[in-house]
Amino acid sequence: MDPRAGTPAQPSDLIDVDALVGAYYDTEPDLDDPGQRVVFGTSGHRGSAFDGAFNEAHIAATTQAIVEYRRAQGTDGPLFIGRDTHGLSEPAFRTALEVLAAHEVEVHVDARDSWTPTPAVSHAILRHNGAGTSAGVRTQGPGLADGIVVTPSHNPPRDGGFKYNPPDGGPAGSEATGWIADRANAILREGWKGVRRVPVEQALAASTTRKHDYLTAYVDDLANVLDLEAVRSAGVRIGADPLGGASVEYWGAIGERYGLDLTVVNPEVDPRWSFMTLDWDAKIRMDCSSPYAMASLVERMTGGGGAAPYDIATGNDADSDRHGIVTADGLMNPNHYLAVAISYLFGGARPGWGEGTAVGKTLVSSGLIDRVVASLGRRLVEVPVGFKWFVPGLVDGSVGFGGEESAGASFLRTDGTVWTTDKDGILLALLASEITARTGRTPSQLHADLVEQHGRSWYARVDAAATREEKKTLAALSPEQVTATTLAGQDITARLTRAPGNDAAIGGLKVTTADAWFAARPSGTEDVYKIYAESFVSEEHLGEVQAAAKQVVSDALQG
């Protein structure tokens, strides 16, 4: 923990945006360095132009690869493209548009020439492909749309990001991203300057470039997924902090459209994020689940000495796919809010959802969710890390809610059909106000009720050192390689290397007991593995679980 965590950013913390954009155009990546190749993680390719990891070459090559991929898949409808407020997002957007226009791809850009949240792009793709109609969503056949979102999510201002969403509207799966990354790196080796492009002015004026009103389409449709009339009638006071991200214009439009008592706490957009408080490591990071990045909003809600200025305050990251919920009790832990949202939605708030509609969670999310779902008599679908695993269930309506411990979630329309298949931080933030309006209690108060009913838990994530070889071994473990029979004094009830919800490989290990669990996954970028752990016994027991987890993993790796 850096001693400056939670304090306002200083001039020395800010990037030089002109230098960053200059590096985007001037730096040639060195493909002998693995860190300078195109690599798609769970949320696309990310990196900084300063490091030779996110430059014009990468975006030209990746866009060319996407053109070839969608053509091979038979995706011949429009491509919806959006960008966030990071300094590298605008130049990357321009590069992508130059390539797409040169290949005569029909591209739908924001009608306001402004920022577009990730969920608004997912919403646009799905609406084009049939969501919200009696016909339902098509994921095969002619005329299907797909999309690109230019964003590194909550990453620091120096970073850029580029991700592809196929016709199902969600994050692309590993088969697609692997193909796109391999092809993009091949293009870089062959000579990326040979990629066909047209000047950006010509691309913007092309007949294939269309304007799409993402904001109006998304905001007007919110009435079909949330009870905003209840929020208006109850007079819930909302403070929405976009954290300088793509949702900044959306929040004002939502308040006006639905007559809400809603204040945009900070409407400022600055690609340096000079108004932020520093995260745990003294970096500027727009992580709305971090109490340090959210310190100013938390202080506004809890530190004034009198009544909080809002009933509910919320934050979003730069592309608005994550949510942070602040009440008079402070910033909610993401796991706690997910449990409350599930309890509320499946506890009678959505009668249009069928009795067989399941709840989705990642396997590193809190066991409190498991207990809540069991008490509701619902089926739990536990999947590996990555929102892409929820996409099929959200598309066909079999999964009503999909949520990640990292403050990302989405859920169905009130009629039980798909809303978005990418994380929707705006939706989850607004749900907190609906919950407050219809129950008369805040989500943090409702979480206290769940704790009284199901027990308190202690949850944390820590890292442990691992070589590349050890990380490969961990990712390929089988349950039989885990020989331990107890964990922190309790009998082991399950050893998992495949997710019980869809039998997909975890890429690591999860071990459970009656009152605790841990999951270990190798880091994709560092020589460490991540240990997620939770105990329903005590904080001390959580420490025992973490220590035992390291020993269990070490024994399994040594074999």
The residues annotated with a catalytic role in the active site are 153
The answer to whether residues 120 and 129 touch, using CB atoms and an 8 Å cutoff, is no
Strand partners, 403: 361, 409
Helix locations, 74-170, DSSP H: 89-102, 118-128
The answer to whether residues 398 and 357 touch, using CB atoms and an 8 Å cutoff, is yes
Say if residue 18 is exposed, middle or buried (CB neighbours under 10 Å; 0-12, 13-18, 19+): exposed
Q: Which amino acid, 186?
A: A
Give CA–CA dist 212/216, Å, rounded.
9
If one counts every other C-beta atom within 10 angstroms of the C-beta of residue 397, the result is 19
Backbone angles phi, psi at 442, to 5 degrees: -80, 160
Give CA–CA dist 77/72, Å, rounded.
13
The answer to whether residues 392 and 409 touch, using CB atoms and an 8 Å cutoff, is no
Closest by Cα among 518, 382, 406, 517 to 462: 518
DSSP per-residue string spanning 438-449: HHSS-HHHHHHH
The two counts, helices (H) then strands (E), for the chain are 17, 23
Q: What are the C-alpha distances in Å from 353 to residues 36, 411, 454, 515?
A: 46, 11, 25, 31
Give CA–CA dist 364/226, Å, rounded.
27
The answer to whether residues 516 and 545 touch, using CB atoms and an 8 Å cutoff, is yes
Q: Which amino acid, 253?
A: A
- Helical (H) or strand (E) element with 533: strand 528-535
- Hey, what's the torsion of the CAs at 440, 443, 449, 451, to 10 degrees? 180
- Helical (H) or strand (E) element with 196: none
